[in-house]
Structures are given as C-alpha cells and as structure tokens.
C-alpha cells in the first residue's frame, strides 16, 4: 500500500485506548500516518498506563480540541461518549466481538472502532484505511465484523538452501525468498516487517516459513537453527501473525539420531515432546507444524505400517500442551503410476487415504486439503474430501502462487475462482458450502454421521494459501498479482465478499484516486483487464476441466502430451475419436462415487455434468454436444481463438493507462502482457493443432489451424 492510502485516516485527530503489543502497533501506524498527513494521535487509556508511556503525554493533544476517530479496547475505559454509545449498543444486543473482531460506527462526526482484544483494534484500523474517505462522511450504524475463519494462513514454499531444481522458492515466481538467501536467514527485517504489515492489513494471522518439501538444512530449523525462526517470529508478532514450521516426519532419525520415526515408538514420542518443548521455550506463541508426509517422496508413517492419523496425532500430542496445531496435508497420491494402468486414478487418492480415518484425528490436528482432487488446476471439481470428514478439522488450501495459472507472467485474477470454490454447496446448491466446512459453521453430514450431529460438532481449520511473494521489487513480480494476495486475505476473512468488490478495494488502495489525474479510467481499465482474466486463462489453456497439458517440470506453457505417458497420474486420453477421463461409477474409475448427493449423480451423468468439468469426468467423442450447443471440438477451437483475442484486448486496454499510473508499474505490466500474448498464442496453436490432427474435424469458421 502506498502511503497515500493512509491519507484519509492520517489527516484525522485520533484517540487510541488500550495496551499491548498490537495496540502499540496501531499507535505506531497512526503516528506515521498522522505525521505525514497532518492529523494527530493521542494514546489514552487508564492513568497508570499513561504513566508508563512518558513519551505519549508529550505529544498528546488537548481533549478539547476534539477528535475525529476513537479506536478503543472496550475494557480500557472510561471512554469518550461516542465509544460508550457503541459499547452500549453492543451490550444491548448481547454481541460479542471475539479475539479478532471489532465494531465500527460513525455518529456525531466521530468514527469509532471498538474491540475486545488488541488484534480486533489492528484489523479495525485497517478497515478504516480500506474505507478511506468513506469512513468519515455519512453516519454509520454500529456494524460488527468478525473473521469467518479463525486461521487465515500462508504457506511459504521457501527453501533455506537454493535447491538444485526448485531454486530458493519452490514454485516461486517473484524472485528470491524474503526470509532466506543462499543457506542463511536474510535478516532484511525491514521487508519482513513490511510484509507482516501488508498481511495484517488483509487479516492473515499465521504463516509457515519454509517449504513443505523439507530438505536437510530446512529440517534443522526445528532444532539447532530454531533461532532463525524465532527471529522471524519476533518481526511478525507485532502484526498478530504466528509462525509455523514445516517439519520432516523423519526428523527423529535425521536430527535426533534415533533408529526409527515410528509414531508409536515411545522414544519417537519423547523426542517430539522434548523438541517441541524447546520450540516453545524459544517462541512462546509458536503456531505449530505443517507436514507433507508420504507424498511426492517425503517420509511418513507408511514406512512403519502406520496410518496418517497415527502420524498426525504424534505431532498433535507434542503440540497440545502449548496450544499448537499440526496442519497435516491430504495431498497424498501415487506419483509412480504406470500410465498403462487405467484403474489407478490420482483424483481418488486423497479421499481413499483419508476419508476412512475420519474421527481418528486429535482436535489440534487440521487436515489441509487442496481445493481440488488434483493439483491447483485452473479448473477442477471441488475435492470430495471436504465433504467426507465431519469429525475432522479441515482447512482448505488455495494456491496464490500461480504455478498453473500463468506463473505471475500472466494476468490471472483468482478471486472469482476462489469465490466459486468457497461458495460451492457441497450437498447441493442450497446446503453448507466449502467455506462453512473450513470455518466450522456448517456441515451436511456423511453416511456414518447424520447432518445434525455434524453441524453441532464441526470445527473449522481455516483457509491456507501458498504465498506468491518474493524479494522482487513488486513483491509478486507481476504487479497485478498482488491482487491475488489481497483477495486471499479478504476471502479468508469474509468468504462471501464479491470478488469484483474486492478488486475495487485493491484498486483504490494500490492506485489511490488522489494519485492520478483520471481515477475513473484507471479503475475501469483495471477491471477490464482483470475481472475476467481467470476465465480468459482457462479459455486458452487445457479445455473443459481436463487439466494439465502443461510443460512437465516447469508447468509453464503448453505441452499437450507432456504428462500423457508419465508416472504422475495426469492424463487426458485423447485419441482420434474423443478425449477425457472416464471417472464414472458405471464404466470408469468410480471417482464420482466419492461425492455426496446430488453431485455423485450430477457428475456421473453425461447429460447433467456441467460443461466446464465435462472432460474431468467423462471421455466423450469430439462430436459430443455441450449444453452450450457447441460440440466439444468446436468449443475447443472457439475458446482458444477467443482466449487469445481477449488477451489482445487486455493489452490494448492496458496501453490506455500510459501517463496515468507509475511508469515503473506500467512498464512491467506492458512487458508481461507481451509475454502473456506470446504464450497464449502458443497455447492456442498447439491445442487447436493437436486436436485438429487427432480428430480431423475442421474448424467450422475456417480459421487458421496448423
């Protein structure tokens, strides 16, 4: 956020009440903003607190000069009349704000933010920043704001050592890590602090600092390199962010010198208990562990004939005395598959492994499930695991880093995708949603747990996003990719927010209207370029939900058969007659049976399956008619021509911003739009040519196919 975003708040006279680290952060923010824009700040509160704050007295201004904003903890009174009135309304309604919520109101020319705990005050202050001038114009009745999800977490896939294949940040497209460089902590604390501030402004409250693929050096962050993690924690703490660590399941062997990592072995349990005790000694507010086990080569409990529940509970028990949680990832599948074997279906794997374990996990285990059954494709059905485990805390994992969505070289605003994911009715359009399960506010039950019981007992695990931030000048390489980080935080706080409204907020904060001579054009152009960019990306890449078709390894650019004969389990089965994966119960892998009704029937049925997922669930002839009226082959041609035309238009629109925004941002985006167009043309031509050659069916409109 440029300083200008703080002008409306910074030009006001602010009163702040309360104590604690996070309240001090609010005070410092207000001081900075008011010093720049002519307002002032008085940190009030009980007399004894003031006495501790010698410096504050000096710069506080006289009450009689009035004030425009009050930010207060409710128990720090006596408060000014306006705040007392808000408090009275809350009491009358019996409303609680929780540890992170706040109330906001405006009356008699005073804007008030009240919270029960310091984090609420911090988030309330950033709400005022988001509102800008609107926070200080018309009266506002008392509004209550509480996050939908308790845990709003980022995972960094950052390596301490530069990995020979994956580099400093696995699937990172924004330069190096902001935490690590060439085997050591960077200690560039200014950027870490600025990052923490940025994350607090969107409500993120947890962050893991290293890759889930834990290599040798990174494993030691748990023991002799714990000091590095503690130092990062010190810089995130003032912004209400708790640090988590990805750990290796084999750590008792590799770090502890034990002959085994068997979760039922008492020596292993004692090692984790003692190691975890030391972690909390160094970082008292440590959040917990993140684990990728028995997945893509990472060690896990299978080596000892134990289940994922045994493995997760081992760590959960070590963390429980300190209030920590273990995020155990459900991304488990066979990556050494034989492409000739049509019975193994990667999409089935997470459910097959985890659904039978429902009810066996400790309360402080959070099963972290990718939103789809495969791997963050631009279009996948929702993972059936999310509906299948009413007695397990589930977190839903999104990928903010754009591994499969253009790698921060393409404009691809993911707010609409995530909004669809979070709003998806797992038991039909009107039932509880993915967001309800992640938030712990609703569940439709399972064959063994009636919906009523599930609703009463479900506890949410929150939302997790794989970060897209690095040490690049623009933080996310593509300046417009910052909107994805922003949208992640806003949707974790309020999953029902409209993604276009979120984008509007981001545009106003990032390109404040006061910084350009034509704010209207800036806003309209950014919407024109970004609103539909995810669907544009979908149009010029793999069709109708079939997924992959990307270059193996890098995952950038087209390679239709790149994974077709590989062990990774990501196939499309195109031949001269048709394309798609038969995942039906009747004739295919049976995957559709992992869904509750009505989706089990809808996906099973060729007639009812939504067009956009057709090839994920069915193998069909090229002549198959879609609901749209088009055939599959004509749809492939049409969407690929349209996708490229849309990128041409995006580029044309962007060029209209010349002279209206920061030239450095303009230059970077122009350069990347050129690359996006080049890459989209490549996708179009390879996909269209491939399917034309396979099918022999010409384009109905006679356009150029090679």
Which residues, 44 to 103, sit near ligand GCV by CB under 6 A? Answer: none
Report the alpha-carbon angle 587-591-595, nearest 5.
Answer: 125
Q: Tokens 């669809």 map to which residue? A: 420
Give the DSSP letter of residue 515.
G
Could you tell me the smallest distance in angstroms from the CB atom of residue 550 to ligand GCV?
10
Which residues, 576 to 605, sit near ligand GCV by CB under 6 A? Answer: none
Could you tell me the smallest distance in angstroms from the CB atom of residue 201 to ligand GCV?
27
Rule CB under 6 A: is residue 145 a binding residue for ligand GCV? Answer: no
Out of 111, 213, 419, 510, point to the residue binding ligand GCV (CB under 6 A).
Answer: 213
Q: Among residues 40, 375, 472, 508, which one is catalytic?
A: 375
Please state whether 452 falls in left (phi above 0), alpha (psi between -120 and 50) or beta. alpha
Which residues, 627 to 656, sit near ligand GCV by CB under 6 A? Answer: none
Rule CB under 6 A: is residue 294 a binding residue for ligand GCV? Answer: no
Q: Which is nearer to ligand GCV, 157 or 622 (CB)?
A: 157
How many binding residues for ligand GCV (CB under 6 A)? Answer: 9
Residue 93 annotated in active site: no
In SS3 terms, 154-182 reads as EECCEEEEEECCCEEECCCCCCCCCCEEC
Bridging pattern class, strands 110-115 and 102-107 = antiparallel
Rule CB under 6 A: is residue 331 a binding residue for ligand GCV? Answer: yes
x/- mask, ligand GCV, residues 432-461, rule CB under 6 A, reads: ------------------------------
Rule CB under 6 A: is residue 328 a binding residue for ligand GCV? Answer: no
For the chain, how big is the Rg over CA atoms in Å? 26
Q: Which is nearer to ligand GCV, 568 or 622 (CB)?
A: 568
Which residues, 398 to 417, sit near ligand GCV by CB under 6 A? Answer: 403
How far apart CA 556 and CA 551 sit, in angstroms, is: 6
Beta bridge pairs of residue 365: 326
Q: For residue 592, how far is the Cα from the chain centroid?
A: 27
Nearest to 442 by CA among 463, 422, 459, 428: 459
Rule CB under 6 A: is residue 327 a binding residue for ligand GCV? Answer: no
Could you tell me the smallest distance in angstroms from the CB atom of residue 296 to ligand GCV?
6
How far apart CA 384 and CA 374 sit, in angstroms, is: 11
Q: Which residues contact 38 (CB under 8 A, 6 or more apart)?
A: 10, 11
Q: Which is nearer to ligand GCV, 331 or 361 (CB)?
A: 331
Question: Residue 202 in contact with residue 485, Cβ under 8 Å?
Answer: yes
Which residues, 373 to 392, sit near ligand GCV by CB under 6 A? Answer: 375
Could you tell me the smallest distance in angstroms from the CB atom of residue 52 to ligand GCV?
46
Residue 59 annotated in active site: no
Q: Which is nearer to ligand GCV, 205 or 213 (CB)?
A: 213
Rule CB under 6 A: is residue 614 a binding residue for ligand GCV? Answer: no
Could you tell me the smallest distance in angstroms from the CB atom of residue 372 to ligand GCV?
12
Q: Which is nearer to ligand GCV, 464 or 530 (CB)?
A: 464
Rule CB under 6 A: is residue 170 a binding residue for ligand GCV? Answer: yes
Sort 183 into a burial class: Cβ within 10 Å, 0-12 / 13-18 / 19+: exposed
Could you tell me the smallest distance in angstroms from the CB atom of residue 350 to ligand GCV?
12
Q: For residue 99, how far is the Cα from the chain centroid?
A: 22
Could you tell me the smallest distance in angstroms from the CB atom of residue 465 to ligand GCV?
12
Please state whether 364 falls in left (phi above 0), alpha (psi between -120 and 50) or beta. alpha
Rule CB under 6 A: is residue 292 a binding residue for ligand GCV? Answer: yes
Question: Residue 125 in contact with residue 23, Cβ under 8 Å?
Answer: no
Which run of H or of E encompasses 246?
Answer: strand 242-246
Q: Which is nearer to ligand GCV, 358 or 375 (CB)?
A: 375
- Tokens standing for residue 217: 């050096």
Could you tell me the smallest distance in angstroms from the CB atom of residue 423 to ligand GCV?
24
Residue 538 annotated in active site: no
Could you tell me the smallest distance in angstroms from the CB atom of residue 556 to ligand GCV?
12
Neighbouring C-beta atoms of residue 636, cutoff 10 Å: 25
| b/e code 678-706 from CB counts within 10 Å (16+ = b) | ebbbebbbbbbebbbebbebebeeeeebe
Q: Which is nearer to ligand GCV, 6 or 157 (CB)?
A: 157
Bridging pattern class, strands 167-169 and 158-163 = antiparallel
Please give the sequence-ordered ranges of beta strands (E in DSSP) within 50-205, or none if there are none: 69-73, 102-107, 110-115, 140-145, 152-155, 158-163, 167-169, 180-181, 184-185
Give the DSSP letter of residue 111.
E
Q: Which is nearer to ligand GCV, 150 or 403 (CB)?
A: 403
Q: Among residues 59, 75, 281, 296, which one is catalytic?
A: 296
Question: Residue 374 in contact with residue 547, Cβ under 8 Å?
Answer: yes
Out of 199, 212, 293, 355, point to the residue binding ligand GCV (CB under 6 A).
Answer: 212
Q: Which is nearer to ligand GCV, 403 or 505 (CB)?
A: 403
Rule CB under 6 A: is residue 332 a binding residue for ligand GCV? Answer: no
Could you tell me the smallest distance in angstroms from the CB atom of residue 155 to ligand GCV?
9
Could you tell me the smallest distance in angstroms from the CB atom of residue 292 to ligand GCV?
5
Out of 12, 171, 393, 455, point to the residue binding ligand GCV (CB under 6 A).
Answer: 171
Out of 102, 123, 157, 617, point to the residue binding ligand GCV (CB under 6 A).
Answer: 157
Q: Which is nearer to ligand GCV, 180 or 654 (CB)?
A: 180
Report the alpha-carbon angle 160-162-167, nearest 5.
Answer: 115
Q: For residue 240, how far is the Cα from the chain centroid?
A: 17
Which 3 state secondary structure label does DSSP give 408? coil
Rule CB under 6 A: is residue 173 a binding residue for ligand GCV? Answer: no
Question: Residue 202 in contact with residue 489, Cβ under 8 Å?
Answer: yes
Distances (CA, A) of 540 to 123, 226, 480, 507, 543: 39, 45, 20, 26, 8
Report the alpha-carbon angle 238-239-242, nearest 5.
Answer: 90
Q: Among residues 87, 317, 403, 582, which one is catalytic?
A: 403
- Tokens standing for residue 404: 């499969």
Nearest to 480 by CA among 510, 520, 515: 510
Q: Which residues contact 112 (CB under 8 A, 6 or more apart)?
A: 69, 70, 71, 72, 82, 83, 86, 103, 104, 105, 106
Could you tell me the smallest distance in angstroms from the CB atom of residue 555 to ligand GCV?
6
Binding site for ligand GCV (CB under 6 A): 157, 170-171, 212-213, 292, 331, 375, 403
- Residues with catalytic function: 296, 375, 403
């Amino acid at each position: 956020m440029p300083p200008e975003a703080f002008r409306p708040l910074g030009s006001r006279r602010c009163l702040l009440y309360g104590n604690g680290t996070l309240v001090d952060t609010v005070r410092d923010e207000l001081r900075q903003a008011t010093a720049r824009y002519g307002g002032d700040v008085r940190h009030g509160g009980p007399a004894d607190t003031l006495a501790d704050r010698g410096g504050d007295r000096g710069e506080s201004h006289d009450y009689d000069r009035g004030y425009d904003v009050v930010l207060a903890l409710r128990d720090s009174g006596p408060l000014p009349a306006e705040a007392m009135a808000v408090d009275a309304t809350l009491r009358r309604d019996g409303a609680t704000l929780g540890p992170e919520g706040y109330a906001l109101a405006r009356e008699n020319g005073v804007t008030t933010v009240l919270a029960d705990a310091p984090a609420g005050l911090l988030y309330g202050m950033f709400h005022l920043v988001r509102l800008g001038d609107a926070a200080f114009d018309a009266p506002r009745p008392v509004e209550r704001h509480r996050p939908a999800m308790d845990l709003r977490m980022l995972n960094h896939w950052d390596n301490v050592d530069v990995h020979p294949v994956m580099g400093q940040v696995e699937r990172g497209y924004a330069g190096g890590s902001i935490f690590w460089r060439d085997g050591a902590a960077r200690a560039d604390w200014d950027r870490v602090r600025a990052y923490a501030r940025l994350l607090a402004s969107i409500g993120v409250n947890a962050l893991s600092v290293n890759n889930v693929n834990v290599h040798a050096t990174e494993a030691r962050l748990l023991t002799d390199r714990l000091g590095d993690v503690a130092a990062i924690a010190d810089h995130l703490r003032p912004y209400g962010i708790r640090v988590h660590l990805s750990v290796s399941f084999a750590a008792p062997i590799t770090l502890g010198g034990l002959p085994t990592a068997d979760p039922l072995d008492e020596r292993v349990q004692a090692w984790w208990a003692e190691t975890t005790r030391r972690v909390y000694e160094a970082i008292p507010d440590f959040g917990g562990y993140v684990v990728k086990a028995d997945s893509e080569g990472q060690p896990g409990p299978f080596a000892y004939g134990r289940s994922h529940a045994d493995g997760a509970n081992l760590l959960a028990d070590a963390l429980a005395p300190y209030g920590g949680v273990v995020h155990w990832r459900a991304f488990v599948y066979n990556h050494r598959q034989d492409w000739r074997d049509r019975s193994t279906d990667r999409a089935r794997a997470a459910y097959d492994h985890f659904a039978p374990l429902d009810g066996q996990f400790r309360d402080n285990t959070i099963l972290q499930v990718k939103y789809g059954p495969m791997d963050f494709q631009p279009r996948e059905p929702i993972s059936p695991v999310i509906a299948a485990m009413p007695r397990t805390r589930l977190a839903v994992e999104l990928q903010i880093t754009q591994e499969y969505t253009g790698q921060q070289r393409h404009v691809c605003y993911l707010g609409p995708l995530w909004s669809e994911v979070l709003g998806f009715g797992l038991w039909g359009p009107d039932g509880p949603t993915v967001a309800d399960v992640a938030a712990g506010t609703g569940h439709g039950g399972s064959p063994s747990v009636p919906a009523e019981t599930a609703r009463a007992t479900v506890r949410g695990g929150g939302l997790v996003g794989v970060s897209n931030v690095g040490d690049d000048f623009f933080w996310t390489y593509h300046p417009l990719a910052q909107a994805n980080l922003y949208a992640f935080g806003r949707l974790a706080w309020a999953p029902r927010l409209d993604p276009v409204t979120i984008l509007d907020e981001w545009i106003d904060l990032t390109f404040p209207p006061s910084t350009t001579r034509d704010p209207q054009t800036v806003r309209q152009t950014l919407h024109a370029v970004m609103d539909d960019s995810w669907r544009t990306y979908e149009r010029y890449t793999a069709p109708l939900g079939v997924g992959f078709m990307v270059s193996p390894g890098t995952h950038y650019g087209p390679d239709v058969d790149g994974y077709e004969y590989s062990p990774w389990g990501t196939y499309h089965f195109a031949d001269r007659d048709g394309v798609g994966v038969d995942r039906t119960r009747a004739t295919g892998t049976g995957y559709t049976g992992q869904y509750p009704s009505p989706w089990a029937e809808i996906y099973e049925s060729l007639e009812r399956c939504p067009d956009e997922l057709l090839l994920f669930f069915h193998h069909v002839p090229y002549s198959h008619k879609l609901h749209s009226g088009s055939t599959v082959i004509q749809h492939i041609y049409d969407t690929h021509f349209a996708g490229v035309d849309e990128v041409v238009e995006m580029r044309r629109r962007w060029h209209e911003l010349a002279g209206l925004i920061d030239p450095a941002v303009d230059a970077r985006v122009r350069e990347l739009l050129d690359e996006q167009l080049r890459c989209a043309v490549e996708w179009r031509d390879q996909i269209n040519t491939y399917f034309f050659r396979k099918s022999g069916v010409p384009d109905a409109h006679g356009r150029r196919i090679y």
